[in-house]
């Protein structure tokens, strides 16, 4: 068990390094000298050359990469071209917002998704089942920006229930969280329903009935615990995709998070910032997947014992 | 002599296997079965067909010019004159939707074909060759999958620069990894199957085995993956364009229309919601069709 | 008359389909006297498992019970509301299943699963329930009971799991144990141990209804046997009587198949034909299409279950009434 987790950890480190290298190379092959872009049209050639040397951009690419990785390990992702501040500082400020948004979205997605999934499974082929499953299909097919704008238009602009944008108070998180969690709620509901229906067919459910358990007890004590195994894994992976997938939601609701930072980096042709946000996001995803793996191992006694 | 006999047996075996598949259920029969049992999938196929026809015959179907401005009729709501209203330049939205569908549909189909070809080739190669090739391809796929697809697309777009062709390239590069993974695992299990073993024993060349035995058996999966990856590509493109990082004017795609329309969300909501609804509809249709195809062609894929 | 633990009268159960109701259990009456082991034998699909489930009240939707009475310890439980019916399960009647591999909850320690049964029916503390579970583990012959109770099902062998199932079924001392193919999934040595354990349970006062397709198991364990075919009882008799003087051609076919295997003969004696489709049973005797001795009236008229000797009944026109001895 420990060994397999260790192996996964090493794999994660390799993947992370690979992503760093890939992004690094991709951003280096962009035509044009980034320093010249940064300094604007009027900079003279001497200054550009001095800056290039100062930033180490005249070094061979593997030296640049090694230096970047070593700096990154110390938490230094360089200085943003467009904002003039350390990338780490910008990201730290943005991460709080993204984290709050992702956690709120996850709470919405999981509570709604699990509840709807259970009801749909218990009332299989009933009205609520069809209703919830229809909604969840809409959930996976609606583009995020559509959900976000619909919510904004109806609940903020028309009904004035909630703020249109910004996260000055906790109310500001409600609409973005629903918009971001909408998709995930749909997939959680579908997974809960299908695993629960599958589990309810298992022999040990008959055993539980044979010893005199009633329907609610069977659902909670026997069926849900087994059905939650794959659901938990999905949820752990969703947390990372919610953290990394907030670009659109953050843009629509003007929330200063990591995703919006990445968009700003692109429009400002800001390589260190784009590199930093991409790497940071990857780190979050890789950690999330690692968490999902270990969670499964902790929850399922069959895996816990193996390896 | 003995080798000859073996070859005969294998060939007979092989033919029987193929004809068994053929006899059991031809592709047409499968489609007919789906049409009978899954009405939703059939309706979806019809919707997709309508969208395609709309894109192809856009010049004939458009009631107005898609590019001519008419400043007297800016932002007029959907109604008798303009069925879906007009935009900030007074252009007919229905006409712009029809033309925009060309980009949005192409962007769903072309990159998906490219990424599937790439993914299938690499997946079969990795699964069949094994060893360091397998390790290399799969680690590469891990790396691609570790980066969230939106961010990956953003970084690639940044590298390649704007332009329609680059959007195509970007989307092709984003999606190959998951295809490669699935095709690899199928190749691995097919490699162990008796008739591939037998073909190897009698010395059929590897490329021939790949093309004649493994690829045809992966086809049902690939068809299903195609129908499920097209909507994903459409969604990624529309998100990129929504952020202003994808298709650029004067080209028009639905995502770009939403992006432009967003500035008029409060006084002319139809500007963004009409193209949004179109995206939703086509994605929904492809998802239904994909589910239906999966149920008849490749039920095992459900767990992936 | 001896006291009956279980008396099922005219049990009917079926599965509604578009083409009509599949009558999987048709007018089945079964008596299980106190302190005895009664067997139901038949091919798979003959309705024996559904009979067991109907008695337990564990029908899986859409299958449902459509008629009959179930007298348990002198009380008709067939029409009790689900709530009261549930209170009986585990306390007065219990059931063990064919697959010990899948019949235990994989994410719950086995001791807990047994203790759960205790706490459902007795108002005791968790510690007391755990203690009784371990006690029961010892009683069913699980060595090292206390540490085994802390295992998860996948850590135990098939035989141990079936013992756990039996411990779970017996922990509240029910009067009736229904065992549905309890040894089918086990290998022969383990089978013998489990059968011995069931014999001991019976000697200690539990009545057992044993469902099996294995005539060897039936012969070893049962006092009285019912033979089922296509949803009906076709013959019933004391175990020795049944094996020595089978009256129904179907029973004779089953026995011949077994004994030809024993003899290691050239050819396996089999029963012709296949199990009939329950939706399209022949008009007369269900077995008529496969019966060597089939006569004209067999194809027209369903025979009654007639008593041909004291305690021996057969559903066959041709079964001869034995001399009263």
Furthest CA-CA distance within chain B: 88
Does residue C62 have a cis bond before it (omega within 30 degrees)? Answer: yes
Q: Which of C186, C234, C233, C238 lies closest to C214, judged by CA? A: C186
Cα–Cα distance for residue pair C155/C111, rounded to 1 Å? 13
The yes-or-no verdict on residue C321 having pLDDT over 70 is no
Cα–Cα distance for residue pair A103/B73, rounded to 1 Å? 45
Residues C139 and C19 in one domain: no
Q: For residue C322, is it within any domain? A: no
* Average pLDDT of the residues in A151-165: 83
Residues A69 and A93 in one domain: no
Give the angle subtended at the CA of B175 by the CAs of B188 and B135, to the nearest 5°: 40
Cα–Cα distance for residue pair A49/A28, rounded to 1 Å? 17
- Read off the pTM: 0.78
Distance from CA of A249 to the nearest CA of B (A): 11
**Among C120, C138, C173, residue at a domain's last position:** C173
The yes-or-no verdict on residue B16 having pLDDT over 60 is no
Cα–Cα distance for residue pair A214/A220, rounded to 1 Å? 10
Domain, as residue range, for A281:
88-306
Residues C31 and C139 in one domain: no
Alpha helices in chain C, H assignment, sequence order: 48-56, 82-88, 110-121, 126-139, 145-148, 158-170, 188-203, 215-221, 239-244, 249-263
Q: For residue A80, is it within any domain? A: no
Domain, as residue range, for C265:
4-92+174-314
Q: For residue C321, is it within any domain? A: no
A267 interaction partners in chain B (CB closer than 8 Å): 244
**Are C100 and C163 within 8 A, CB to CB?**
no
Give me the pLDDT at residue A268, please.
Answer: 83
Q: What long-range pairs does B70-76 form, CB within 8 A, spacing at least 24?
A: B75/B264, B75/B267, B75/B268, B75/B271
Q: Where residue B158 falls among pLDDT bands split at 50, 70, 90? A: confident
Sheet containing C75-76: order of strands: C20-33, C4-17, C64-72, C75-76
Residues C202 and C236 in one domain: yes
Residues A228 and A260 in one domain: yes
Residues C131 and C203 in one domain: no
Give me the pLDDT at residue A1, please.
Answer: 60
Q: For residue A78, is it within any domain? A: no
Q: Show Cβ contacts of residue B240 under 8 Å, excluding neighbours closer than 6 positions.
A: B150, B153, B154, B157, B167, B170, B246, B247, B255
Residues C181 and C299 in one domain: yes
* Average pLDDT of the residues in C56-70: 86
Residues A54 and A127 in one domain: no
CB contact under 8 A, A247 and B283: no
The yes-or-no verdict on residue C247 having pLDDT over 60 is yes
* Average pLDDT of the residues in C247-254: 87
* Average pLDDT of the residues in B54-71: 79
Q: For residue C21, is it within any domain? A: yes
Cα–Cα distance for residue pair C281/C274, rounded to 1 Å? 12
Expressed in percent and rounded to 5, the helix, strand and coil fractions of chain A are: 80, 0, 20
Residues A47 and A141 in one domain: no
C106 interaction partners in chain A (CB closer than 8 Å): 204, 226, 300-302
Cα–Cα distance for residue pair C126/B40, rounded to 1 Å? 52
Of all residues in chain B, the percent with pLDDT exceeding 90 is 10
**Chain B residues touching chain A at CB-CB below 8 Å:** 139-140, 142-143, 146-148, 150-151, 154-159, 161, 231, 235, 238-239, 242-245, 255, 258, 262, 265-266, 269, 272-273, 276-277, 279-280, 283-284, 287
Q: Which of B248, B68, B289 lies closest to B163, judged by CA? A: B248
Residues C179 and C305 in one domain: yes
Chains B and C touch (3+ CB pairs under 8 A): no
**Among C112, C142, C173, residue at a domain's last position:** C173
Give the angle subtended at the CA of C68 by the CAs of C62 and C71, to the nearest 5°: 115
Q: Show Cβ contacts of residue C205 under 8 Å, excluding neighbours closer than 6 positions.
A: C34, C35
A91 or C45, which is more confident? A91
Q: Where residue C324 falls among pLDDT bands split at 50, 70, 90? A: very low
The yes-or-no verdict on residue B1 having pLDDT over 70 is no
- Interface pTM, i.e. ipTM: 0.82
**Among A47, A73, A99, residue at a domain's last position:** A73
**Are A232 and A192 within 8 A, CB to CB?**
no
Q: Where residue B192 falls among pLDDT bands split at 50, 70, 90? A: confident
Residues C146 and C186 in one domain: no
Q: For residue C319, is it within any domain? A: no
The yes-or-no verdict on residue A184 having pLDDT over 50 is yes
Distance from CA of B284 to the nearest CA of A (A): 5
Q: For residue A82, is it within any domain? A: no
**Are B172 and B106 within 8 A, CB to CB?**
no
Give me the pLDDT at residue B11, please.
Answer: 42
3-class SS of residue B82: coil
Q: For residue C325, is it within any domain? A: no
A201 or A1, which is more confident? A201
Give me the pLDDT at residue A31, please.
Answer: 65
The yes-or-no verdict on residue B113 having pLDDT over 90 is yes
Of all residues in chain A, the percent with pLDDT exceeding 90 is 8
Residues A65 and A95 in one domain: no
A144 interaction partners in chain B (CB closer than 8 Å): 239
Tell me how far the alpha carbon of residue A10 is from its chain's centroid.
21
Identify the residue among A14, A145, A184, A269 best suited for mutation to test binding to B, counting B beta carbons within 10 A and taking the highest: A145
Q: Beta C20-33 vs C75-76: how paired, if at all?
A: unpaired
Residues B57, B61, B65, B70: is their CA dihedral positive or negative? Answer: negative
**Among C158, C173, C188, residue at a domain's last position:** C173
B232 or C292, which is more confident? B232
Give me the pLDDT at residue A34, please.
Answer: 66
What's the whole-number average pLDDT of chain C? 85
Cα–Cα distance for residue pair B170/A139, rounded to 1 Å? 25
* Average pLDDT of the residues in C232-252: 89
Q: Where residue C235 falls among pLDDT bands split at 50, 70, 90? A: very high
**Are A34 and A57 within 8 A, CB to CB?**
yes
CB contact under 8 A, A143 and B158: no
Q: Which domains does chain B have, with CATH numbers?
A: 2-58+88-303 (1.10.3720.10)
Does residue B280 have a cis bond before it (omega within 30 degrees)? Answer: no
CB contact under 8 A, B159 and A16: no
Residues C164 and C219 in one domain: no
| Structural domain count, chain A | 2
CB contact under 8 A, A207 and C154: no
Nearest to B146 among A144, A274, A285 (CB): A285
Give me the pLDDT at residue B9, please.
Answer: 39
Of all residues in chain C, the percent with pLDDT exceeding 70 is 93
Q: For residue A67, is it within any domain? A: yes
Strand partners of residue C227: C41, C235
Q: For residue A146, is it within any domain? A: yes
The yes-or-no verdict on residue A211 having pLDDT over 50 is yes
A149 interaction partners in chain B (CB closer than 8 Å): 258, 262, 265, 272-273, 276
Q: For residue A271, is it within any domain? A: yes
Distance from CA of A210 to the nearest CA of B (A): 31
Residues C198 and C267 in one domain: yes
Q: Which two tokens stand for residue C307?
A: 């008593």
Neighbours of C269 (CB within 10 A): 16
Residues A10 and A111 in one domain: no
Q: Where residue B86 falls among pLDDT bands split at 50, 70, 90? A: confident
B79 or A113, which is more confident? A113
**Among A20, A43, A73, residue at a domain's last position:** A73
Give me the pLDDT at residue B292, please.
Answer: 83
Residues A29 and A171 in one domain: no
**Are B271 and B264 within 8 A, CB to CB?**
yes
The predicted-structure confidence for A19-61, as pLDDT tens digits, reads as follows 888 888 888 777 666 666 666 666 677 777 777 777 777 777 7
Q: What is the CATH number of the domain that holds C212?
A: 3.40.50.300
* Run of H or E including B53: helix B39-56
Neighbours of B163 (CB within 10 A): 14
Neighbours of chain A (3+ CB pairs under 8 A): B, C
| Structural domain count, chain C | 2
* Run of H or E including B260: helix B254-261
Residues C208 and C303 in one domain: yes
The yes-or-no verdict on residue C65 having pLDDT over 60 is yes
**Are A117 and A190 within 8 A, CB to CB?**
yes
The yes-or-no verdict on residue A222 having pLDDT over 80 is yes
Q: For residue C26, is it within any domain? A: yes
Q: For residue A162, is it within any domain? A: yes
Distance from CA of A141 to the nearest CA of B (A): 5
Residues A133 and A26 in one domain: no
Which range of A209-213, B186-190, C281-285, C317-321 scores highest in mean pLDDT? It is: A209-213
Which range of A59-73, A152-166, C174-188 scores highest in mean pLDDT? It is: C174-188
- Neighbouring C-alpha atoms within 13 Å toward the C-beta of A25: 6
Give me the pLDDT at residue B159, please.
Answer: 84
The yes-or-no verdict on residue C258 having pLDDT over 80 is no
Residue with tokens 């218990």: A122
Nearest to A301 among C86, C95, C152 (CB): C152
Give me the pLDDT at residue B147, please.
Answer: 80
Distance from CA of B39 to the nearest CA of A (A): 15
Give me the pLDDT at residue C130, please.
Answer: 92
Give me the pLDDT at residue A236, please.
Answer: 78
Q: Where residue C225 falls among pLDDT bands split at 50, 70, 90? A: very high
Nearest to A141 among B157, B272, B283 (CB): B283
Residues A204 and A276 in one domain: yes
Residues C43 and C157 in one domain: no
Q: For residue C123, is it within any domain? A: yes
Q: What is the CATH number of the domain that holds A158?
A: 1.10.3720.10
**Among A14, A39, A73, residue at a domain's last position:** A73
Q: Which of B281, B276, B280, B268 lies closest to B85, judged by CA? A: B268
Q: Which of B205, B249, B270, B204 lies closest to B99, judged by CA? A: B249
Which range of A120-124, A130-134, B151-155, C205-209 scores highest in mean pLDDT? It is: C205-209
Q: Find the closest chain C residue to A297 by CA distance.
A: C107
Least confident of A16-30, A136-150, B210-224, C276-290: C276-290
Residues A166 and A284 in one domain: yes
Nearest to A212 among C108, C120, C154 (CB): C120
Give me the pLDDT at residue C268, please.
Answer: 60
Q: Which of C219, C232, C237, C224 lies closest to C309, judged by CA? A: C237
Residues C75 and C153 in one domain: no
Cα–Cα separations (whole angstroms), residue C305 to B103, C313, C319: 77, 6, 10
Q: Where residue C310 falls among pLDDT bands split at 50, 70, 90? A: confident
Q: For residue C61, is it within any domain? A: yes
Expressed in percent and rounded to 5, the helix, strand and coil fractions of chain B are: 80, 0, 20
Taken as a whole, chain B contains a residue count of: 304
* Average pLDDT of the residues in C186-208: 87
CB contact under 8 A, A206 and C103: yes
Cα–Cα distance for residue pair B118/B218, rounded to 1 Å? 14
Residues A201 and A55 in one domain: no
Q: For residue A46, is it within any domain? A: yes
Q: Find the closest chain C residue to A207 by CA distance.
A: C103
């Amino acid at each position: 068990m420990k060994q397999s987790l260790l192996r996964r950890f090493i794999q994660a480190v390799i993947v992370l390094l690979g992503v760093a290298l890939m992004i690094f190379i991709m951003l280096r092959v962009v035509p044009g000298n980034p320093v010249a872009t940064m300094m604007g049209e009027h900079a003279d050639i001497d200054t550009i050359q001095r800056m290039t040397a100062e930033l180490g951009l005249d070094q061979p690419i593997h030296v640049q990469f090694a230096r970047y990785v070593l700096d990154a390990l110390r938490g230094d992702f360089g200085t943003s071209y467009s904002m003039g501040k350390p990338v780490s500082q910008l990201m730290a400020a943005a991460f709080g917002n993204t984290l709050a948004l992702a956690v709120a979205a996850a709470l919405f997605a999981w509570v709604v998704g699990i509840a709807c999934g259970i009801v749909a499974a218990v009332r299989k082929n009933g009205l609520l089942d069809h209703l919830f499953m229809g909604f969840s299909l809409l959930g996976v097919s609606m583009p995020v920006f559509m959900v976000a704008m619909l919510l904004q238009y109806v609940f903020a602009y028309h009904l004035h229930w909630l703020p249109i944008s910004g996260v000055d108070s906790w109310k500001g998180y409600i609409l973005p969280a629903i918009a971001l969690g909408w998709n995930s709620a749909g997939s959680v509901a579908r997974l809960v329903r299908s695993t629960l229906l599958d589990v309810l067919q298992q022999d040990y459910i008959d055993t539980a009935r044979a010893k005199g358990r009633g329907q609610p007890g069977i659902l909670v004590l026997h069926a849900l615990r087994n059905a939650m195994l794959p659901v938990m894994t999905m949820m752990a992976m969703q947390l990372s995709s919610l953290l990394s997938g907030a670009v659109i939601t953050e843009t629509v609701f003007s929330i200063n998070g990591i995703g919006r930072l990445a968009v700003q980096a692109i429009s400002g042709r800001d390589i260190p910032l784009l590199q930093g946000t991409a790497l940071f996001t990857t780190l979050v995803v890789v950690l999330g997947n690692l968490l999902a793996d270990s969670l499964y191992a902790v929850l399922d006694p069959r895996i816990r014992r193996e390896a | 002599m003995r080798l000859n006999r073996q070859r005969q047996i294998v060939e007979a075996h092989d033919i029987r296997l193929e004809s068994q598949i053929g006899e059991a259920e031809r592709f047409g029969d499968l489609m007919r079965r789906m049409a009978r049992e899954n009405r939703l999938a059939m309706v979806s196929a019809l919707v997709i067909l309508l969208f395609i026809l709309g894109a192809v015959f856009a010049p004939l179907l458009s009631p107005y010019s898609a590019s001519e401005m008419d400043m007297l009729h800016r932002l007029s709501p959907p109604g008798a004159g303009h069925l879906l209203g007009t935009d900030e330049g007074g252009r007919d939205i229905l006409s712009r939707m029809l033309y925009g569908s060309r980009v949005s549909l192409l962007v769903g189909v072309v990159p998906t074909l490219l990424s599937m070809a790439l993914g299938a080739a690499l997946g079969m190669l990795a699964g069949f060759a094994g060893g360091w090739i397998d390790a290399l391809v799969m680690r590469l796929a891990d790396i691609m999958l570790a980066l969230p697809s939106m961010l990956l697309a953003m970084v690639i777009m940044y590298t390649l620069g704007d332009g329609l062709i680059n959007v195509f390239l970007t989307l092709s590069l984003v999606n190959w990894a998951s295809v490669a993974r699935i095709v690899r695992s199928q190749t691995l299990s097919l490699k162990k199957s008796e008739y591939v073993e037998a073909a190897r024993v009698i010395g059929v060349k590897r490329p021939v085995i790949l093309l004649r035995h493994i690829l045809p058996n992966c086809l049902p999966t690939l068809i299903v993956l195609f129908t499920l990856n097209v909507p994903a590509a459409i969604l990624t493109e529309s998100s990129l364009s929504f952020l202003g990082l994808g298709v650029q004017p004067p080209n028009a795609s639905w995502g770009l229309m939403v992006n432009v329309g967003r500035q008029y969300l409060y006084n002319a909501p139809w500007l963004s919601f009409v193209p949004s609804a179109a995206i939703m509809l086509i994605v929904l249709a492809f998802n239904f069709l994909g589910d239906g195809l999966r149920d008849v062609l490749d039920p095992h894929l459900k767990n992936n | 008359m001896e006291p009956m633990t279980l008396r099922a009268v005219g049990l009917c159960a079926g599965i509604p389909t578009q083409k009509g109701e599949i009558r999987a259990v048709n007018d089945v009456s079964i008596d299980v006297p106190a302190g005895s082991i009664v067997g139901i034998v038949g091919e798979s699909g003959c309705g024996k498992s559904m009979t067991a489930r109907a008695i337990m009240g564990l029908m899986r939707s859409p299958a449902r019970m459509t008629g009959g009475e179930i007298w348990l310890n002198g009380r008709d439980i067939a029409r009790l509301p689900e709530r009261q019916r549930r209170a009986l399960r585990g306390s007065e009647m219990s059931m063990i299943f064919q697959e010990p591999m899948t019949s235990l909850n994989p994410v719950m320690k086995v001791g807990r699963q047994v203790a759960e049964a205790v706490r459902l029916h007795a108002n005791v503390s968790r510690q007391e329930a755990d203690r009784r579970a371990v006690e029961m583990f010892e009683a069913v012959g699980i060595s090292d009971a206390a540490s085994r109770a802390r295992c998860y099902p996948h850590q135990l062998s098939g035989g141990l799991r079936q013992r756990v199932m039996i411990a779970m079924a017996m922990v509240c001392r029910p009067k009736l144990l229904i065992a549905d193919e309890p040894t089918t999934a086990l290998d022969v040595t383990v089978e013998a141990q489990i059968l011995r354990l069931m014999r001991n349970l019976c000697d200690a006062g539990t009545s057992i209804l044993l469902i099996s397709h294995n005539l060897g198991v039936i012969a070893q364990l049962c006092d009285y046997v019912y033979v089922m075919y296509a949803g009906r009882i076709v013959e019933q008799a004391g175990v020795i009587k049944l094996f020595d003087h089978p009256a129904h051609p179907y029973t004779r076919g089953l026995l011949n198949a077994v004994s030809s295997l024993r003899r290691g003969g050239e050819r396996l004696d089999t029963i012709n034909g296949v199990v009939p489709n329950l939706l399209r049973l022949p008009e007369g005797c269900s077995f008529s299409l496969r019966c060597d001795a089939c006569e004209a009236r067999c194809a027209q008229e369903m025979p009654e279950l007639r008593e041909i000797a004291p305690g021996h009944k057969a559903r066959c026109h041709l079964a001869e009434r034995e001399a009263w001895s």
